[in-house]
Amino acid sequence: MTSVAIQTQLTPEEYLTWERKAITKSEYVGGKIVAMSGASYRHTLITMNISGELYIQLKGHSCTVHTNDMRVKASSTNSYFYPDVVVVCDKPQFEDNTFDTLLNPIVIIEVLSPSRETYDRVDKFAHYQQLESLQEYILVSQDEVHVEHYIREETLWKPSEFLSLDNVLSLTSIACELPLQDIYRRVDFLEN
């Protein structure tokens, strides 16, 4: 997905009021609205592959998987984001009784777009690291077989990467495995 920063300062409360009435989605960082545009075919296919695999593996467990319509708040930075895939376990905590802003994700997955790669890799990750509940952050390339996995070990984030369709990504916090061949199922890297 691509994004455009709109030079408007809003309080978090003003943002939520505005966002809940909007016909398009926007993220909120440091008082500024970051407009979001549509995603590519590969981006949506990868997102659905991941969410579908996790849904099947988490069926009957206390964790649930959500796609890019579930907003997540990084409370300590008063920022709001729409991750591509988010997993929450046990009892979800929400900002208010509208139940559309999650406070306690355990896993967040972002599918990288060329226009938002730095934003997802650096800016969003810095905010996500402030979430006490978050245990794993995954970045998935849509342009090549490349998955980066960050797992929290106390106060540090340990990185690892996967570059082959034969690799399997283990999400230890939710006891799930994502073979890269399933993440990239039906993805044609030759098509633009």
Backbone angles phi, psi at 14, to 5 degrees: -65, -40
pLDDT band at 44 (very low <50, low <70, confident <90, very high): very high
Q: What value does the mean pLDDT take over residues 172-186?
A: 98
Tokens of 42: 């590969």
Annotate 157-179 with b (16+ C-beta within 10 A) or e (fewer).
beeeebeeeebebebebbebebe
Structural domains for the chain:
40-183 (3.90.1570.10)
Tokens of 110: 């972002």
For Cα atoms 99, 178, 142, give the angle at the middle one, nearest 5 degrees.
80
pLDDT band at 23 (very low <50, low <70, confident <90, very high): confident
pTM for this predicted structure:
0.90
Are 152 and 133 in contact by the 8 Å Cβ rule? The answer is no
Of 17-31, 43-57, 68-82, 111-125, the range with the highest mean pLDDT is 43-57
- Residue 86 makes CB contacts below 8 A (sequence gap 6+) with 65, 66, 67, 70, 72, 102, 105, 107, 108, 109
* pLDDT at 7 > cutoff 70: no
H-helix or E-strand containing 53? helix 41-58
* pLDDT at 6 > cutoff 70: no
Helices and strands in the chain: count of H runs, count of E runs:
5, 14
Half-sphere exposure of 55 (CA within 13 A, CB side): 9
Q: Identify the residue whose tokens are 């997905």.
A: 1
pLDDT band at 168 (very low <50, low <70, confident <90, very high): very high
Q: In whole numbers, what is the pLDDT of the chain averaged over residues?
A: 91
